[in-house]
Every structure is written in structure tokens, then in C-alpha cells.
Amino acid sequence: MNDDSKHLLIELKPWRSKNSPLYALVESLKNLIEYRTIKENNIPYHRDFKHFNEADLIILAPESYYQDYGLIDKPEAPIISKLQILKRSVDELSAEFKTNISFMMLPLEEEAFYDRCRTVCKKYKKTTGLERIDIQESDSIPELAKDKWQLLVSSDRELN
């Protein structure tokens, strides 16, 4: 949540997935509609859930995910690339659903991520699984920080 009135709904994708970027976009739009329905119909929800008036959608995935679907790093790019088609679609859907939509990349290789996870898991290995542990800042993966995300494509919509 950015503040009390605007949220980011993030659809996270792994390095390899049978779910295409288009599928991820449809999932994000579905989630947006569900959250709007909860608010508009006063459907009971968890007491800690805060209402929002606006939400931006982000599809977040490692660079290799987008490469696998031919959105980046294709030397024989056609006159109209898949990325240009995606951009047009994102702009149209953004206007239709009154939300900003972005496709963002994580600058993190799969093996580096799993190496870091294995290191942290060894550090906090438990026998019962019931103890409380406090994760330290030194355990974090800096590449996952939001300021490290790289923009692939975004809608041009300005929210009022």
C-alpha cells in the first residue's frame, strides 16, 4: 500500500512459467475487479483490510521470464514487436479499467536467489518449527527491493 487510498496489486511470476505475461495481466485485472467488488458491495472482509479507492497493477517477474515469452532480447525483432503490441494493450486496458498497469523486471538470477535462500534457511534451521525467529536485515536479498525493479512497459494513463 502506498498510502491509505492507493494500493499496488502485484502479480509475481517465477523464472519459468506456463502462465504467459498476458495470463498474468488477466489475473491482475481479475484481482482488481474482486477488490473493487468487495468495496462496492460492502462485502465483509478481514478486519485489517483497508479500503482503497485506487490501485495500480504490476506484473513482476525475473528478466528471463520475459525473455522466454519473446518480449525482450530478440535480435531479429519484427517491425512491430511483441513489446509494442503489449504496450498498446496495456494502454487500452489501463484506460478501460481506470488503473495504471506496469510490467516490471527483477534483476535476479534464479540460482543466486536459491543460493541466498539456502544460506538463510541453514542459519535459521529449527527442530520443532514452533520457535519464534527474527529475520535480520542482513538476510534480505537487495535485488528484491522495489527500487531495484526495472520497468519493461507501463501504461501512459494519468490518474486524477
Average pLDDT over residues 19-33: 93
45 three-state secondary structure? coil
The answer on pLDDT for 48 being more than 80 is: no
Judge whether 69 and 25 are in contact, CB under 8 Å.
Answer: no
Average pLDDT, the chain: 81
- What digits encode the pLDDT tens for the residues 124-159? 676 566 667 777 788 888 888 888 999 999 998 654
Q: DSSP string covering 31-78, please?
A: HHHHHHHHHHTT----TTPPP-SEEEEEEEEEHHHHHHTTSS--TT--
User: pLDDT value at position 123?
Assistant: 75
83 three-state secondary structure? helix
**Phi and psi dihedrals of 58, rounded to 5?**
-130, 130
